[in-house]
Chains A and B, each alone.
Chain A
Amino acid sequence: MNVVVLVKQIPDPEALVAIGGDGVSLDIEQKFAMNLFDEFAIEEALRIKAKHAGKVKVITLGSRKAIEALRTGIAMGADEAVLLEDEAFLAGDGYATALVLSRAIAKEPFDIILCGRQAIDDDRGEVGPMVAQFLGLPHVGGILKLDVADGRAVAEVAVEGGKETVEVQLPALFTAQKGLNEPRVPLITGVMRAMKAQIARATAADLGLATAQAGRPGSKVKVVQYSPPKKKPAVQIIPGAPREAAIEAVRILMDVERVL
């Protein structure tokens, strides 16, 4: 069973993000993390490998810095990693990114593709389904459980108020939802292996893509403007004895904020 996991390195949730003067560029503090949903995807891939043998390959599209996300994957137990790195890939939308990823995946035979259901930086949740589309595969979004046997997979997904169980023919693409599993913490020995690992790279040319197909030129969606979130008002501390303070708090919730 060969499993491919797509991962994305995103700004650390605590990183400071400022909008540039042009309104469309972002100045992001250089602190990164792996997208949380992708960790579920890697964990699931490793569990499938433990049961059915085979190998796990992690792929990311990003700058050199994104190697860290790949190394995290290897530290957790993935066998191989590929960095898709090319000037031409930069600033692409979900469509352009999915095209590049699908080309990279298609280079070798595979049975299962896993990725997070969305990247928590832009929250669009489009790359997974689009990759499935480019490869002409079934896509099951937001899975909570996955069982694989005899070339088929049975997955559970959440629906309003309950769960739905679906079956697909492999190969197929699944996006991981919170609750699928508990991602493992890499072992020290795993981290050492990851630090030594050779990371393969691929450029647009390696994937047979023209620069016009990738990155900004290949994008269909264009960011026009970022707006900052509304500034939260300052914290208000209610003084006084606990009882009186609680009464005052309820009054504010009811009469001033009108949330109760």
Chain B
Amino acid sequence: MDKVDAIIVGGGLAGLTAAYHLATAGRQVILLERGDAPGSKNVTGGRIYVDPIKDYLPGIIAEAPFERHVVKEIITVLDDDASVQLEYANDRWRSEPYMSYTVLRATFDGWLAEKVSEKGAFVIPKKKVDDLLWEEDRVVGIKAGDEEIGAHIVIAADGALSFMAEKAGLRKPLEPRNYAVAIKEIYRLDEKTIDDRFGLQPGEGTANLFVGAITRGMFGGGFLYTNRDTLSLGIVVGIGDLIQQKDPVAASLLMEEFAARPEVQRWIRGGELKEYAAHIISEAGAGGIPKLYTGGMLVAGDAAGFSLNLGLTVRGMEFAVASGAIAAGVADEALAKGDLSAAFLSRYEQKLKESFVLSDMETFRHARDVLENKRLFTVYPKFLSELLAALFTIGKGKKEPLYTSAKAAVRKYILNWEGCKDLFSVRKM
């Protein structure tokens, strides 16, 4: 069988970055994406940090079509009928080089796909890869429909559900507990309205996170990012928690309730709903990383479990870009040597350990144990809300001294055995 140098499965950030590097190195690359176009199926919050990725997309990152640079963070803690909002702004974030940007994947991935094509790679949408081709214990290509295409190396960058990694025997079948479901809506709102509503200068953006009653005690949270002339609103909930509910609720219902909250309405009011998407996020952390290579194949990005769901935020795009670039580097070396054995490709894992990808994943290995604590989403939001209610409420009778009300709230919610345990567990992060 004729073989191309490399086939990349999946046109997300991991696959596109890998294709970019291999094509730049002069390799013959085919990238197959099942969506109508790269980015069309990709869901992210999202926000991307520049420093971790700029060396992995050298030269071109400066022209990337980001939405807005983030200059402030807003955290909203919600009780059933009350909320506390905290805003953190930092003047340093207002000047270049900017630390992080909001992004829309259809735009961003579309742009990156163009860069990849300019380098001579074949980016082919509307092609779903169905299977891998094998010669003994080595992957030697892919099957898509009736077509078989040979390749010296296959890079699986097919996202969180990666069937390629599963087919290669690198990953066990999915377990619900290890995944969260996310629902995201995009609202169109004109640029000036967004600037005014969020108190931003042109080009500036905010990242808004929501935690508390909106997930009904389940692991997760909500987000709202300002794009140029749209808002990305979404909610993330652990699937394990969702299916264990006594009275199961659909994630879509949680999304509806979330979007109806006044704390959210104040931002999205008047916006026109443009897109609705659902996606899966791995929340297994370092424990969910499959074997990362086999003869003739590497796994990158979400497919390799490289994402950190820290409840309030999800981090995966930087890992996708970095692991895609590192995979391409190793693939290029292997092609040069003509050695595509698992033994040679094992240096991929070594290189990931030396980069932030596997070291950050390791640092947060136990984060889930801490974050899965239901009290974070129920007790603590209630405590905050009651404390502030005590502070601000004045009725007919005598007002208790502030100290007394505060003490009562602390006793009720925090100063107990559970609270001490929680405090103790935070050390793990």
Contact = CB atoms under 8 A, between A and B. Distances in A.
B13 to A, nearest CB: 21
B252 to A, nearest CB: 14
Interface in A169-216: 185, 187-189, 191-192, 195
Contacts of B32: 188
Given A188-B32, A189-B149, A191-B122, 17 more contacts: A185-B126, A185-B145, A187-B147, A188-B30, A188-B124, A188-B127, A188-B144, A188-B147, A188-B149, A189-B147, A191-B124, A191-B127, A192-B30, A192-B122, A192-B124, A195-B117, A195-B122
Interface in B125-173: 126-127, 144-145, 147, 149
Contacts of B127: 188, 191
Interface string B288-330: 0000000000000000000000000000000000000000000
Contacts of B124: 188, 191-192
Interface of A: 185, 187-189, 191-192, 195
20 contacts: A185-B126, A185-B145, A187-B147, A188-B30, A188-B32, A188-B124, A188-B127, A188-B144, A188-B147, A188-B149, A189-B147, A189-B149, A191-B122, A191-B124, A191-B127, A192-B30, A192-B122, A192-B124, A195-B117, A195-B122
Contacts, number: 20
A187 B124 CA distance: 10
A189 B30 CA distance: 10
Contacts of A192: 30, 122, 124
Interface residues of B, number: 11
Nearest to A185: B145
A189 B126 CA distance: 13
Contacts of B30: 188, 192
A195 B147 CA distance: 18
A121 to B, nearest CB: 18
Best-surrounded residue of B30, B32, B124 (most CB of chain A within 10 A): B124
Contacts of A188: 30, 32, 124, 127, 144, 147, 149
A187 B149 CA distance: 10
A98 B127 CA distance: 35
Contacts of B149: 188-189
Nearest to A33: B36
Contacts of B122: 191-192, 195
Contacts of A187: 147
Nearest to A12: B36
Nearest to B274: A16
Contacts of B147: 187-189
Nearest to B126: A185
A33 to B, nearest CB: 9
Nearest to B146: A187
A214 B112 CA distance: 37
A195 B123 CA distance: 9
Contacts of B145: 185
B135 to A, nearest CB: 20
Q: Which 6 A-B pairs rank lowest in CB-CB distance, beginning with the nearest?
A: A191-B124, A192-B122, A187-B147, A188-B147, A188-B149, A195-B122
B114 to A, nearest CB: 13
A185 B146 CA distance: 11
A188 B29 CA distance: 12
A195 B144 CA distance: 19
A191 B127 CA distance: 10
A69 B30 CA distance: 21
A188 B32 CA distance: 9
Interface in B11-49: 30, 32
Contacts of A189: 147, 149
Contacts of A185: 126, 145
A191 B124 CA distance: 7
Nearest to B4: A192
A64 B248 CA distance: 52
A192 B126 CA distance: 13
B2 to A, nearest CB: 10
